[in-house]
């Protein structure tokens, strides 16, 4: 008899798990209270990248004279930008619905509540309830914006990323609370669109989960673009006078009032673990999310939690990978392998990383070597007019590649060359025989790796290898 699996949540983790389980012969039902695709497809990754692409095209138009192209008057149409974004989302959600049908997956619109590993109760849209029997449950309810307890945060004009995506106009002044991935991506986009952007971050650094050296190189680039940044700065209160929103902050130089037409709250996300019946079902959870084992199984045997809701790694691609792995675990009994997970930030220029940061190795006293290659020495980057940034590669004492950090053009694409190398624990010598096409950006990655042994062709030799303990 085929296994019956209920998936609560139709985001990247949920629908990925559902499709893989269906491929393996399971009878699968997805419960989704909103739209298939979750936050990522409808209110996050995809619509944000559609706006990012519009900002990228606009930036290129502004620089067109550098490429020998003179452009006359041009303007940004917020309505058309939004329409393009909506059309892309609609196309992808339509495709996702076809995938459900094609794989024989039943989709129920409603909210699921776990009774046991064998039973889920669904609150349907009309108020009715339906009980579904199953063999296993996969919880994939994702996350939502975290709203900090700041006085005035409920005022009109103080919004989250979801509202900003559908804003019918470009604010002249945008204050962003939070210098993480969401805040910096929107900061870069709306700065390109013409907003005067100010970012307030409580921590000493923006994007603090990335390699410190890369951030030091990024900061002046951000300031050069005209984005004003206040780090180590706390927001104390938000108020409004006429059409102006005032944000009272306190930092290194005392109190300061920042003014904006809109304020974006981008202070992170929280797991959607409410109204799932967790406590009654005996499933352990805390403020970070549902507690899971290394195999993503909850404290209730047979019930799994994947993606943002388990609080481990709030990335759509991590959720997708976990979903597929759990489906195979349930049906095939497969071991779950946690490989290196890349992180990408779509700013100008892009920032991406996978593996270990240099600071981590220093703190642990582990021997390592570092090599860096500037995009300014790469022919393809120069032809693109994007010579800013670099690739930084870290190897351990055995010459195995353990960390790659990229700041520059197409970093979000290039980083995936590093994923299998780190996953398979390849050494510099193993990579040496991998031929890279010319002229490409990937040559910069190859050169950075070969620089670890002073064998890079387009890198000035060092007198002494950079090493640390």
pLDDT classification of 469: cutoffs 50, 70, 90: very low
| Res 126: pLDDT | 83
**pLDDT tens digits, one per residue of 179-225:** 999 999 999 999 999 999 999 999 999 999 999 999 999 999 999 99
Positions marked active-site: 438
Residue 257 has pLDDT above 50, yes or no: yes
**pLDDT tens digits, one per residue of 397-435:** 999 999 999 999 999 999 999 999 999 999 999 999 999
Average pLDDT in the 114-125 region? 94
Q: Largest Cα–Cα distance of the chain, in whole Å?
A: 74
Cβ within 8 Å of residue 46, ≥6 positions away: 37, 40, 88, 89, 92
The model carries a pTM of 0.94
Instruction: Give the chain's length.
Output: 469
In the block, tokens 């049906």 appear at 331
Average pLDDT in the 270-279 region? 96
pLDDT classification of 167: cutoffs 50, 70, 90: very high
| Res 463: pLDDT | 59
CB 218, CB 407: distance < 8 Å:
yes
Cβ within 8 Å of residue 52, ≥6 positions away: 185, 188, 189, 346
| Res 466: pLDDT | 47
> Among candidates 362, 348, 337, 349, which has minimal Cα distance to 424?
337
Q: What percent of the chain has pLDDT over 90?
A: 96
**pLDDT tens digits, one per residue of 340-378:** 999 999 999 999 999 999 999 999 999 999 999 999 999
Q: What percent of the chain has pLDDT over 70?
A: 98
Residue 467 has pLDDT above 80, yes or no: no
Calpha distance 385→79 (Å, rounded): 29
DSSP state of 400: B
**pLDDT tens digits, one per residue of 18-33:** 999 999 999 999 999 9
Cβ within 8 Å of residue 452, ≥6 positions away: 369, 370, 371, 393, 395, 399, 428, 465
Average pLDDT in the 250-273 region? 96
CB 2, CB 26: distance < 8 Å:
yes
Residue 171 has pLDDT above 70, yes or no: yes
Number of Cβ atoms within 10 Å of the Cβ of 431: 20
H helices present in 110-211, as ranges:
161-165, 181-193
| Res 464: pLDDT | 52
Residue 462 has pLDDT above 80, yes or no: no
pLDDT classification of 125: cutoffs 50, 70, 90: confident
Domains of the chain listed by start with CATH number: 4-145+270-332 (3.50.50.60), 158-267 (3.50.50.60), 349-468 (3.30.390.30)
Cβ within 8 Å of residue 10, ≥6 positions away: 18, 30, 31, 32, 35, 36, 37, 38, 107, 140
Mean pLDDT of the chain: 95
**pLDDT tens digits, one per residue of 82-92:** 999 999 999 99
Average pLDDT in the 258-276 region? 96
Average pLDDT in the 246-257 region? 95
């Amino acid at each position: 008899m085929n296994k019956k699996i209920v998936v609560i949540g139709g985001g990247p983790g949920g629908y990925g798990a559902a499709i893989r389980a269906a491929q393996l012969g399971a009878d699968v039902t997805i419960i989704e209270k909103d739209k298939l695709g979750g936050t990522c497809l409808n209110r996050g990754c995809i619509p944000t990248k559609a706006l990012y692409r519009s900002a990228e095209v606009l930036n290129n138009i502004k620089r067109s004279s550098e490429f020998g192209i003179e452009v006359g008057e041009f303007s940004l149409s917020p309505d058309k930008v939004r329409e393009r974004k909506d059309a892309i989302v609609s196309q992808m959600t339509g495709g996702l619905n076809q995938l459900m049908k094609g794989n024989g997956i039943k989709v129920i619109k409603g909210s699921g509540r776990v009774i046991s590993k064998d039973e889920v109760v669904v609150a349907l849209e009309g108020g009715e309830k339906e009980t579904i029997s199953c063999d296993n449950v996969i919880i994939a309810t994702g996350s939502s914006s975290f709203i900090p307890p700041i006085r005035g945060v409920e005022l009109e004009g103080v919004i989250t990323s979801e509202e900003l995506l559908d804003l019918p106009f470009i604010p002249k002044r945008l204050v962003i609370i939070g210098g993480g991935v969401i805040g910096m991506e929107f900061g870069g986009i709306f700065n390109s669109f013409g907003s005067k952007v100010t970012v307030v971050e409580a921590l000493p650094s923006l994007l603090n989960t990335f390699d410190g050296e890369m951030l030091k190189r990024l900061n002046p680039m951000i300031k050069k673009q005209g984005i004003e940044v206040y780090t180590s700065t706390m927001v104390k209160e938000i108020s409004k006078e006429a059409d102006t929103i005032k944000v009272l902050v306190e930092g290194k130089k005392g109190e300061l009032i920042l003014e904006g037409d809109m304020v974006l709250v981008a202070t992170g996300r929280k797991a959607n673990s409410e109204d799932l019946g967790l406590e009654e079902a005996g499933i352990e959870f805390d403020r970070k999310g549902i507690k899971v084992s290394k195999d993503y199984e909850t404290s209730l045997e047979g019930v799994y939690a994947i993606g943002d809701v388990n609080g481990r790694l709030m990335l759509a691609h991590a959720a997708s990978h976990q979903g597929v792995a759990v489906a195979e675990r349930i049906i095939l009994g497969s071991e779950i392998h946690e490989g290196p997970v890349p992180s990408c930030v779509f700013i100008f220029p892009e920032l991406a990383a996978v593996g270990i940061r240099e600071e981590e190795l220093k703190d642990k006293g582990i021997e390592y070597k570092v090599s860096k290659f500037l995009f300014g020495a790469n022919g393809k980057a120069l032809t693109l007019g994007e010579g800013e940034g670099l690739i930084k590669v870290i190897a351990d004492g055995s010459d195995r590649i353990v960390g790659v950090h990229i700041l520059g053009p197409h970093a979000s694409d290039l980083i995936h060359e590093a994923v299998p190398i780190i996953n398979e624990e390849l050494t510099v010598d193993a990579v040496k025989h991998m031929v890279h096409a010319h002229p490409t950006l990937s040559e910069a990655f190859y050169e950075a790796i070969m620089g670890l042994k002073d064998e890079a062709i387009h890198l000035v030799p060092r007198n002494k290898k950079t090493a640390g303990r």
